[in-house]
Structure 1
Amino acid sequence: MKRFNETFSFSRAGRLSRRRERAAEAGAVFAVLCTAPIPSAAQDLVFSIEITAACIAAAPDMPAKRACIGNAADACMQATPAGDTTVGMGGCLDRERAYWDAMLNANYQTARAQAKAADAEMQEIGATVPSMDAALRDMQRNWIGYRDATCDYERSLWSNGTGAGPATLSCLMRLTGEQALYLGDAGLAN
């Protein structure tokens, strides 16, 4: 029995030693990665939202509009010298995500104003219908939770690898674009 304990202690010490070695190696790799040259920041991106905007303008229906999401980011990744790097992909995806986010916010504000006006009309005539504004607000809040959870899941598929950042941004861009189009095309913001 004593021999088992001695062996157990020795093997545990060996495992701890190997863990320390791996941690030191990981630290060395991290230090090299932190000092390695990386592509310049966002100012070097070759980005134009025009390809996405033109696609949306020419799209005959909602599925065709959804297919436009990501066009500008894809063109940016191809045109930017370091567009195929993690930093380049992230920058291009984030630029298009910001476009969709601005559109979503504008469409949401327009829809809220219209919903409030519709609620006021219904109240004026004495209709007892659920509030369109409250339903819109609740829907948008729930959508934000859905978007965040979905993109967290997509990030987890990369196990914190270097593709996790671009995968998350791609997810945020795609879902934000879809919601922006929905709010703008559902008769809410028109």
Structure 2
Amino acid sequence: MIRLAAVLTLLAAPVLAQDLQYTDRGTQSCLEQAESYGAKIDCAGASAGQCMEDTPGGHSTVGMGGCLDRELAYWDGLLNSHYKVAMAQAKNLDAERPASMKGLPGAAAALREMQRAWIPFRDKACAYEASLWSGGTGQGPAALSCLMQQTAKQTLTLEPWG
């Protein structure tokens, strides 16, 4: 994980100097039109892909890293928002439980534990993905793409209901 963090840190500095043509609109539009979970999963990467196309040098390692990092931030913000809504819903469910079940772990605790378990899973899955590049220049973008994809999946898993 330390190695993955080092790669991501190295990518971040040059990206700040690059004029990325990034907007969240591609992903947002895709999500608005998608009618199923699978179709929504396919939206992950839409804005990053458009950024790579629109940014001069967008298909370079630095360009890819910058575009992917921006979309990762989009999904991370949406994940945090969905988690807050899901936690509020879980707490409401717990409050409505029969008295005989009040001492048992409820939905809020299960949600919290699930999210805490997901974070190391995501990190290890993406460290593995990065390792497939054997330290090559594609390692950083591969790790960021994985983080974005995993975060998108978790975001959609926690999408508000009811």
Matched, 1:99 2:60: no
The answer for the alignment partner of 1:54 in structure 2 is 29
Larger relative contact order (CA 8 Å, sep ≥ 6)? 2
Question: Among residues 96, 101, 111, which one is paired with 1:136 in the alignment?
Answer: 111
1:117-136 map, 5 Å: 117-122=92-97, 125-128=98-101, 130-136=105-111
For 1:27-76, what per-residue CA distance to the aligned partner results, in whole angstroms no more than 9, with x for missing partners? Answer: xxxxxxxxxxx976365000111111011000111111111110100000
Measured after TM superposition, the shift of residue 152 of structure 1 is 0.4
The residue type paired with residue 59 of structure 2 is D
- How many pairs are equivalent? 148
1:26 corresponds to: none
| Residue correspondence of structure 1 range 145-156 to structure 2 within 5 A | 145-156=120-131
Deviation at 1:121, TM superposition (A): 1.8
1:68 to 31, 38, 43: 43
Partner of 1:78: 53
Q: For each residue in 1:118-143, what CA deviation from the matched residue of structure 2 results, as whole angstroms up to 9, or x when unmatched?
A: 11221xx3141531001000100111
The equivalent residue for 1:161 is 136
Structure with bigger gyration radius: 1
- Consecutive unaligned residues of structure 2, counting only runs of 5 or more, are 1-12
Shift of 1:174: 0.4
How does the TM-score come out when normalised to structure 1? 0.74
Distance, in Å, in 2 between the alignment partners of 1:115 and 1:73 is 33
The structural deviation recorded for 1:155 is: 0.7
Long gaps (5+) in structure 1: 1-37
**Structure 1 counterpart of 2:63, one-letter code:** G
Shift of 1:116: 1.2
